[in-house]
Amino acid sequence: MDIFGDLLMGLSVAITPINILYLLAGAMVGMIVGVIPGFGPSAGLAILLPMTFGMDPIGAIMMLAAIYYGAMYGGTITSILLNTPGESATVASTFDGFPLAKKGRAGPALVMQAVASFVGGTVGVIMITVLAPLFAQVSRSFGPPEYFLLALMGMLTLIVMIGQHWKLGLISAMIGFALGTVGVDLETGQGRYTFGSAELIGGIYFIPIAIGLFGLGELFYAFYKGLHKTGTGGIVQYDKEERFWPTAKDWISTRWTMARHSVLGFVVGVIPGAGATIASLMAYSTERSISKTPEKFGKGEMAGLVAPETANNAASSGAMIPLLTLGIPGSASTAVLLAAFLLWGLRPGPLFMEQNPELAWGLIASMYLGNMALLAISIFAIPLFVQLIKVPYRVLGPTVVVICTLGTFSVNASFVETYLMFAAGIIGFFMRLYGFSPAALVLALVLGPLAEEALRQTLTISRGSFMIFVERPASLWIIGVTIALLVLLPLLNQVGKSAGQAEKAGS
């Protein structure tokens, strides 16, 4: 079947009243999760995952995916109105988004970010539609040696991209790896660090850890910073009538920006370990460096908002490629999405699209619809989300604690996991306080066991010889790409970061 046939079949699966309802619910929740500062898509997904029990798998996965990409839309609203990014991928959107709002152009900024997000997201889905089957074909030549190298690539990229605090990132990843060793050793069947407990046979599940680190940890940090005492009086008011819509100049000046960063963002998203945050920072710095008026950046330039917004949405689409075709998550939030697939007995990988065409294409088709819904929501429901920003932390805080606890417990009805979640919450607070990387920990916890198993499988197959990594053509390619990334990414990242810091200093 050709791509259009597949996509039409996917649409017919996605367009049922109940699935559309789930999709809209997912989009709304994604916006909300994005709007609440310090509460990103990873925590939102992890907490809402148990709620999908009993739902039809297609509806459930469509909804969870909508939360994932919807968060990219919502996160920008606070970046523009409050100068506080709703989540890390929208940090770059504060650089020009907030100055625009201060200049009285909050309305156009909000509309343009919605359009930019839509363009980035939709171009991203188009690229998934075209590229995912090709990737699945290529990845059929991938076995344990290639999986080991890909997991390694993901971890190295993540650590390199952390930049100057890479040592703290490395330590965070090591903690994740250590936690990943708990459980029955796949090869020998012996329990490791299980202390005879049946609950630990299966290892430490990363969902409670992710909920603790991202949900509770961020909340504790917000209280530590005193967010519950300060009101939200800093919201920039915007004109709902006269100056709400962008001018013709806004559209014309940013049309190539959107095109460029849709592609760039997508490519960065495909790389395991890179993801939306890095894509948005890189987009901002490249846009500024090729702009004819770089001096206007940071003072309310529309292109400076459009570039990172297009890129982070395109990147979140791009990250679906390794997830669907390899089963390798590139970030903490795609790791939670992977957990959702596994929960339904679906194992994403090279054979996934072939064996589950309805689900795979249904999901892809739903992403077109989801992006349209999000465009509409983020233009017309802005007043609603502005109200949400005004909810004080002393109300939000206890609610989050309750949701985190219930969410964790309902996954496996396990007290051990609930305690682990609270422990992770406390650890997450200190990690945040001292600049460690919770994302590196969670990703290492997921990729660590994968890498360990793949390496041991590889060495069993090769009878202990490491030459297998250079004898297989697919392995050689991955090694080549990894080396190229490790050389190129730090350079790009440096440019991105310095651009970001310059803006911060200037504003």
Where does this chain bind other proteins (CB under 8 A)? Answer: 53-54, 139-146, 184-191, 194, 196-202, 327, 343-345, 347, 349-352, 355, 412-414, 453, 457-458, 460-461, 463, 472, 474
**Smaller CB separation from other proteins, 70 or 154:** 154
Q: Which residue has the tokens 């990172």?
A: 308
Rounded Cα gap, residues 484 and 83, in angstroms: 35
Minimum Å gap between C-beta 328 and other proteins is 11
Residue 185 CB, shortest distance to other proteins, in Å, is 8
For residue 191, give the H/E element and its range: strand 191-192
Tokens of 313: 């949405």
Toward other proteins, which CB reaches closer, 413 or 505?
Answer: 413
Q: The tokens of 213 are what? A: 């680190």
Q: Pinpoint the alpha helices (H) of 276-392.
A: 276-290, 302-318, 320-326, 332-343, 352-355, 357-380, 382-389
User: What minimum distance in Å lies between the beta carbon of 417 and other proteins?
Assistant: 9
Are the C-beta atoms of 348 and 136 separated by less than 8 Å? Answer: no
Q: How far is the CB of 345 from other proteins (least distance, A)?
A: 5
Of 39 and 205, which has the nearer Cβ to other proteins?
205
User: Residue 183: in which H helix or E strand, if any?
Assistant: strand 183-184
Alpha-helical segments (H) within 40-91: 41-48, 57-82
Least distance CB 203 / other proteins (angstroms):
10
Minimum Å gap between C-beta 134 and other proteins is 17
Whichever of 296 and 456 has its CB closer to other proteins, that residue is 456
Relative orientation angle of helices 92-100 and 302-318, to the nearest 10 degrees = 150
* Region class of 184: left (phi > 0), else alpha (psi between -120 and 50), else beta: beta
Min dist. Cβ of residue 204 to other proteins (A): 13
- CA quadruple 191, 193, 196, 200: dihedral sign: negative
Least separation, in Å, of the C-beta of 349 and other proteins? 5
Q: Report d(CA 317, CA 373) in Å as an integer.
A: 16
**Cα–Cα distance, 322 to 110 (Å, whole number):** 31
Q: How many other CB atoms sit within 10 Å of the CB of residue 198? A: 9
CB of 99 or CB of 208, closer to other proteins: 208
Cβ closer to other proteins: 186 or 290?
186
Output 228 or 456, the one with its CB closest to other proteins: 456
Name which of 176 and 350 has its Cβ closer to other proteins.
350
Among residues 364, 339, 320, 348, which one has the least CA distance to residue 443? 339
Nearer to other proteins, 351 or 486 (CB): 351
What count of other Cβ atoms lies within 10 Å of the Cβ of residue 237? 10
- Shortest Cβ 12–other proteins spacing (Å): 21
What ranges make up the beta strands (E) of 109-148?
Answer: none
